[in-house]
Amino acid sequence: MSGTWLREPLGRLVEPDSPITYGVVKPGDPGDVPFIRGGDIADGCVRVDQLRTISADVSRQYKRTLLQGGELLISLVGQPGQVAVAPTELAGSNIARQVGLIRLSQRVLPGFVGYFLRSPDGLAGLGARTGGSVQQVINLSDLRQVLVPVPERPVQQRLMDLLDEAFDGIAAAERNAEKNLLSARELVGTGYRSIVESFDQSQWGNASVADLAAASKGSMRTGPFGSQLLHSEFVDDGIAVLGIDNAVANEFRWDKRRFITEAKYRDLARYRVHPGDVLITIMGTCGRCAVVPDDIQVAINTKHLCCITVDRKKCLPDYLHRYFLYDPQARAYLTAQAKGSIMAGLNMGIISALPVRLPPLDQQASIVERFDSLQSECDRLANAQTQKLAALAELKRSLLHQAFSGTLA
């Protein structure tokens, strides 16, 4: 039982003359040698399909971190504490400086120690400090002091075999859930196309977004630039200022609240947003879209958003929102304008010229209604898969806790 297992500091369980260390290799010109970064380690595995490479000449300069296979690798920065056993096929590879390297002695099995370090108590608290960086890090001196249970090797092997079998089954269930989650998300786009194609389009018109904007001055606008609005002018209460975070989910959400004073608003009133305005992100995370809700308080938008006040005698804001996000013609146009990069070059000029297939208003309303019903069902399916993935993650934590508390049969 675990209560009788000897526990020793991890630093005493390594091979002689092979202390726990970290990589020092920096990315260079691509070559033939796989190069493992902290982000390549996740869920007990090295993601071999996404490894970068370095030249053999660079790798040979860091012989002490050349992998033989079977070492424990641990991410030290960013999402610290991700642990994996280096697979034998990566023998000869090297590691980045955000990766810790542990060569264990024959007393312990790397897979057993790896499972322990992934358990709830394995690395508890080691990623809590910042080490002078904005990122969380694991300090090697703390890592060496982690107390590891050391039962006899047959016990280690038995527990490792049990966990391997259980985690293989969980991984299969996770892959299935992730596949179903992807299918649910893709169904939104294919469903939109099916809904649109079910209408007789012979009477549909063609327009640009600029044609659909209201006739009033400034019906298409971005927010104040440069010295017009400084971060130092934000206050705790007053007139709301909308930014990327309000539209990034492709629906309007209140996230971080920003405000300006009434006096500042009087200088920037031309940037006011109105109920039903369509917001499109044009900086940072580009190409996201949301409709301003009817109950919006007085607010302005930042320069990170293109705000469109739509002429509702021509186009419903909700139709333009769904069209922008899901219509094949809109997506093809935006992709071409961005020259193959996902919305990298999006700006107000591109948005103004975006071609829109324009049904009569009653058909626009029907498309929105039918699409929203479809999206609700897709969201339900996606949420079910998300909950399943969360349950599987909790199952893994529970199994690891049982394994190292002595209650796993």
pLDDT value at residue 340: 46
Same domain membership, residue 157 and residue 277: no
Same domain membership, residue 118 and residue 176: no
Same domain membership, residue 140 and residue 82: yes
Same domain membership, residue 292 and residue 261: yes
| pLDDT score of 341 more than 60 | no
Same domain membership, residue 213 and residue 347: yes
pLDDT confidence band for 350 (50 / 70 / 90): very high
The whole-model pTM stands at: 0.76
Of the chain, the percentage scoring pLDDT greater than 70 comes to 94
pLDDT confidence band for 359 (50 / 70 / 90): very high
| pLDDT score of 153 more than 60 | yes
pLDDT tens column, 270-283:
999 999 999 999 98
Q: Flag the least confident range among 80-84, 291-295, 311-315.
A: 80-84
- CATH number of the domain encompassing residue 255: 3.90.220.20
| pLDDT score of 73 more than 70 | yes
Same domain membership, residue 376 and residue 354: no
How confident is the prediction for the chain on average, in pLDDT? 90
Same domain membership, residue 215 and residue 297: yes
In this structure, the strands spanning 220-222 and 45-46 are unpaired
Positive/negative CA dihedral, 26, 32, 36, 40: positive
| Mean pLDDT of the region 93-101 | 92
For residue 178, count other CB atoms closer than 10 A to its CB.
14
- Dist. CA 155–CA 160, nearest whole Å: 8
Domains in the chain, number: 3
Nearest to 74 by CA among 47, 48, 41, 96: 41
In terms of residue numbers, what domain contains 308?
205-358
pLDDT tens column, 237-261:
999 999 999 999 999 999 888 999 9
Same domain membership, residue 300 and residue 323: yes
pLDDT confidence band for 130 (50 / 70 / 90): very low
- Dist. CA 204–CA 244, nearest whole Å: 33
pLDDT value at residue 9: 95
pLDDT value at residue 160: 94
Same domain membership, residue 218 and residue 162: no
Same domain membership, residue 210 and residue 352: yes
Contact criterion met (CB below 8 Å) for 219 and 383:
no
Residue 296 DSSP code: -
Decide which of 151, 181, 216 is a domain's last residue: 151
Same domain membership, residue 321 and residue 234: yes
The SS3 assignment for 342 reads: coil
pLDDT tens column, 198-224:
999 998 999 999 999 999 999 999 999
Same domain membership, residue 301 and residue 275: yes
pLDDT tens column, 384-407:
999 999 999 999 999 999 999 877
pLDDT tens column, 362-383:
999 999 999 999 999 999 999 9
pLDDT value at residue 400: 94
Contact criterion met (CB below 8 Å) for 25 and 62:
yes
